[in-house]
A and B are shown apart, each in its own frame.
Chain A
Amino acid sequence: EAQVTQNPRYLITVTGKKLTVTCSQNMNHEYMSWYRQDPGLGLRQIYYSMNVEVTDKGDVPEGYKVSRKEKRNFPLILESPSPNQTSLYFCASSQQNIRARELFFGEGSRLTVL
């Protein structure tokens, strides 16, 4: 089954404690991206990756890091989480088609930073 898998699905942590949210896709997609979703603000893009070793900033990259060492994985790293990073996070992937951006989304990871 084609899917994007995120872990953990739920996490409560404390300010400053480094954490990683993993994202893996089994569709051999070149493009992957991270979003955060907050009430009233919609989905905002954090980082995206066009292919292995190619990443770029989205609209809200501050406080986050990413890496793309393998095609299937695109982890999101919060080096020193702060309460304003409490949010619902989504990973998504798609084929690298010049016209298409039909994204497949994961189920989401709800993060609370105390």
Chain B
Amino acid sequence: EDQVTQSPEALRLQEGESSSLNCSYTVSGLRGLFWYRQDPGKGPEFLFTLYSAGEEKEKERLKATLTKKESFLHITAPKPEDSATYLCAVQPPAGGTSYGKLTFGQGTILTVHP
């Protein structure tokens, strides 16, 4: 069974204090790893897709990286509006019976204080 583990469960930062969130996974032959942002009372919102080890994607203060075992979401000089729950999800290899499955981690709750 695919496993996705995110750490830490919660992270509190001061505005401007850079840090990283971790997503480790056990899927072999990963087809894609996804990062989502979820605000309270809302559905998750897509951020990034990473397909292969060494790949990096950036968006404003966020940068996602991928290795063979884990992904990091780096937050540079965060602002209070970056406060949210960040979710990662993995998609298993094509073929087989799990083609449409997507497994999410439990998320990291990020709070950025002014």
Contacts and interface: CB of A to CB of B under 8 A. Distances in A.
Interface residues of B, number: 26
B43 A90 contact: yes
A108 B34 contact: no
Interface in A36-71: 40-45, 48-50, 56, 58-59
Contact of B44 (A48, A58, A105): A105
Contacts of A18: none
Given A104-B46, A108-B41, A45 B106 contact: no
A105 B102 contact: no
A106 interface: yes
Please classify the interface of chain A as helix (H, G, I), strand (E, B), loop, or mixed, using the class held by over half of its residues.
strand
Nearest to B31: A99
Contacts of A92: 43
Interface residues of A, number: 29
B43 A106 contact: yes
Interface in A13-50: 31, 33, 35, 40-45, 48-50
Q: Which of B100, B104, B106, B107 has the most CB of A within 10 A?
A: B100
B106 A41 contact: yes
Interface of B: 31-32, 34, 36, 41-46, 49, 51, 87, 89, 91, 94, 97, 99-107
Interface of A: 4, 31, 33, 35, 40-45, 48-50, 56, 58-59, 90, 92, 98-108
6 contacts: A40-B106, A44-B104, A92-B43, A101-B102, A103-B34, A108-B42
Closest 3 CB pairs of A and B: A105-B43, A42-B106, A43-B104
